[in-house]
């Protein structure tokens, strides 16, 4: 049934109707905290003129029922599905299996290929290449005999994808699991998202970030410029990674990571405060983190010293102790979801057999010393 879409034929400027349902991934955080996190990410990305430009675009095209605008130099395959009010700029190329939702705005020289869906009101800047074949030799062997694309990619609503960004589709051996990018993400100049990645909602990837294949990035995470993320790792919710870091392990939710190779340097306290997390929960999260990751008590940890629990050899065993402590103290997951998310992330780490937890930066025994060391927690 064709309703509310434009079917493409030989005449450029019409597009095929496709009914697409979007499922927003739900975070384990409370609604109030999610709203505050959104405000925090907006604060981080403020000052850009894109919002004003996009608002002007909507002012010119308020009628959602209008046909898409396609520049005469653009090449759009007749089988592509283009939503109402979409804009396809000069010299852009749209493949046969592409679906652009209502209001998608492609500037000049944008290439979209593969089995790619792009959500409503997403803006893509010049020279971005979206939905290309994965850089994976196993995919090349398995997919070489297929006449149609075996790579798939889903990008959410209201994303900003800047110049020279590359986002690859999934591999043929991952069945029907596409590479995914959530809603309201900022993917800045020169960033790369590899095959089979899962990027959450409201994520910021700064300039020249390289995300290898099979990486999972949680909601509200902020990745600094020129960061490299190794394949198969997981970045937790609202984690922040400092610029030029090389990350080869899982980063704790709400954690701060920096370095080559990256280590956990503490919790994202500014982000937690802006998310209006209670002082009591922040203190408990700090105490849990310092116990699980072996951060010793000193003058700098007087506000929230490590939990006084039994000494255990590994971070997973210490996480089990913390989980028992939370149950004994009746700190339930319904009212303290972030607290439990931190512990569960560590407890689940053995199941992520292709990655390991990032270790923490450990201060020296002397509280006044400026020297730092790291210790293995696996």
Residue 195 a catalytic site member: yes
**Cis peptide bond upstream of 21, omega within 30:** no
CB 145 within 8 A of CB 128: no
Alpha helices in 293-336 (DSSP H): 315-328
Here the contacts of 230-236 (C-beta below 8 Å, separation 24 or greater) are 230/355, 231/194, 231/354, 232/352, 232/354, 232/355, 233/355, 234/345, 234/352, 234/355, 236/341, 236/342, 236/345
Specify whether the CB–CB gap between 201 and 185 falls below 8 A: yes
DSSP 372: E
What φ, ψ does residue 328 adopt, rounded to 5°? -65, -35
Q: Which of the following is catalytic: 195, 214, 336, 340?
A: 195
Assess whether 328 carries a catalytic annotation.
no
Determine the Cα–Cα distance for residues 243 and 225; give it in Å rounded to an integer. 5
Query: 213 an active-site residue?
Result: yes
User: d(Cα 53, Cα 87) in Å, to the nearest integer?
Assistant: 14
Contacts of 236 (CB under 8 A, 6+ apart): 218, 221, 250, 251, 252, 253, 254, 255, 341, 342, 345
Beta strand pairing status for 255-259 and 210-211? unpaired
Active-site entry in 97, 136, 157, 196: 196
Residue linked to tokens 């696996």: 378
Q: Which of 103, 156, 194, 213 is catalytic?
A: 213
Q: Smallest Cα–Cα separation from 6: which of 83, 60, 64?
A: 83
Residues catalogued as catalytic: 195-196, 213
């Amino acid at each position: 049934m064709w309703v509310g879409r434009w079917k493409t034929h030989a005449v450029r400027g019409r597009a095929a109707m496709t009914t697409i349902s979007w499922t927003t991934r739900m975070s384990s955080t409370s609604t109030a905290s999610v709203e505050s996190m959104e405000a925090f990410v907006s604060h981080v990305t403020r000052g850009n003129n894109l919002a004003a430009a996009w608002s002007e675009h909507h002012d010119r095209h308020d009628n959602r029922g209008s046909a898409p605008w396609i520049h005469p130099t653009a090449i759009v395959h007749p089988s592509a599905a283009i939503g109402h009010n979409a804009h396809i700029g000069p010299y852009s190329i749209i493949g046969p299996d592409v679906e652009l939702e209502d209001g998608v705005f492609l500037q000049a020289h944008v290439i979209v290929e593969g089995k790619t869906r792009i959500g409503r009101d997403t803006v893509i800047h010049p020279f971005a290449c979206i939905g290309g074949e994965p850089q994976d030799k196993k995919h090349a062997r398995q997919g070489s005999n297929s006449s149609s694309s075996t790579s798939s990619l889903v990008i959410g609503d209201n994303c900003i994808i800047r110049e020279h960004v590359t986002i690859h589709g999934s591999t043929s051996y991952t069945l029907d699991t596409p590479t995914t990018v959530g809603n309201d993400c900022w993917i800045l100049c020169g960033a790369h998202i590899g095959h089979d990645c899962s990027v959450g909602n409201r994520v910021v990837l700064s300039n020249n970030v390289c995300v290898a294949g099979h990486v999972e990035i949680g909601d509200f995470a902020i990745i600094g410029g020129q960061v490299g993320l190794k394949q198969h790792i997981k970045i937790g919710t609202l984690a922040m990674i400092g610029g030029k870091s090389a990350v080869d392990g899982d980063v704790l939710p709400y954690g701060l990571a920096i370095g080559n190779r990256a280590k956990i340097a503490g919790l994202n306290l500014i982000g937690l405060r802006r998310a209006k997390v209670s002082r009591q929960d922040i203190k408990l999260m700090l105490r849990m983190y310092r116990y699980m990751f072996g951060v010793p008590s000193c003058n700098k940890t007087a506000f929230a010293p490590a939990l006084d629990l039994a000494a255990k050899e590994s971070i997973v065993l210490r996480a089990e102790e913390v989980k028992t402590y939370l149950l004994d103290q009746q700190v339930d997951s319904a009212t303290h979801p972030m607290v439990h998310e931190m512990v569960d992330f560590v407890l689940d780490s053995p199941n992520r057999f292709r990655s390991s937890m990032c270790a923490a930066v450990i201060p020296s025994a002397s509280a006044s010393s400026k020297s730092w060391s790291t210790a293995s927690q696996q």
